């Protein structure tokens, strides 16, 4: 039998991670949207909001969720459209490295507040 090897057992976990990270990001977006609607503006107001302990914690969760969510989504797109193994491996690696870098960059922005 000619089976296509695509790996195993990560499907359900990824499906679940995609939902959990989506919910974290949706709640965070609503929170930040509400804060902006409530009149947070200017450098001082924006910085004071983001520097609060709870908000930093929530922002950290958002950044991790975003990068993990993007990893699953973008990897799936490469798997759907890019067939040559070499190019696919290169794109997967590039995506993973970029996302880890983005996470570090964004986290250090809130860390030094």
Shortest Cβ 8–another protein spacing (Å):
19
- Residue 6 binds to another protein (criterion: CB under 8 A): no
Q: Is 80 helix (H, G, I), strand (E, B) or coil?
A: helix
Residue 15: HSE in the Cβ half-sphere, 13 Å Cα cutoff:
4
Give 86-103 as a DSSP string: HHHHHHHHHHHHHHHHHH
Would you count residue 93 as binding another protein (CB under 8 A)? no
Q: What is the binding site for another protein (CB under 8 A)?
A: 1-2, 19, 22-23, 26, 29, 43, 46-47, 50, 70, 73-74, 77, 98, 102, 105-106, 109-110, 113
């Amino acid at each position: 039998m000619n089976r296509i090897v695509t790996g195993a057992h990560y499907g359900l976990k990824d499906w679940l991670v995609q939902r959990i990270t989506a919910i974290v990001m949706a709640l965070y977006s609503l929170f930040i949207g509400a804060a902006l609607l409530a009149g947070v503006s200017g450098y001082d107001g924006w910085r004071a909001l983001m520097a609060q302990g709870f908000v930093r914690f929530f922002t950290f969760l958002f950044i991790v969720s975003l990068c993990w969510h993007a990893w699953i989504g973008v990897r799936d797109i490469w798997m759907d459209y890019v067939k040559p193994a070499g190019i696919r491996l290169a794109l997967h690696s590039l995506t993973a490295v970029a996302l880890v870098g983005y996470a570090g960059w964004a986290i250090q922005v809130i860390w030094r507040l």
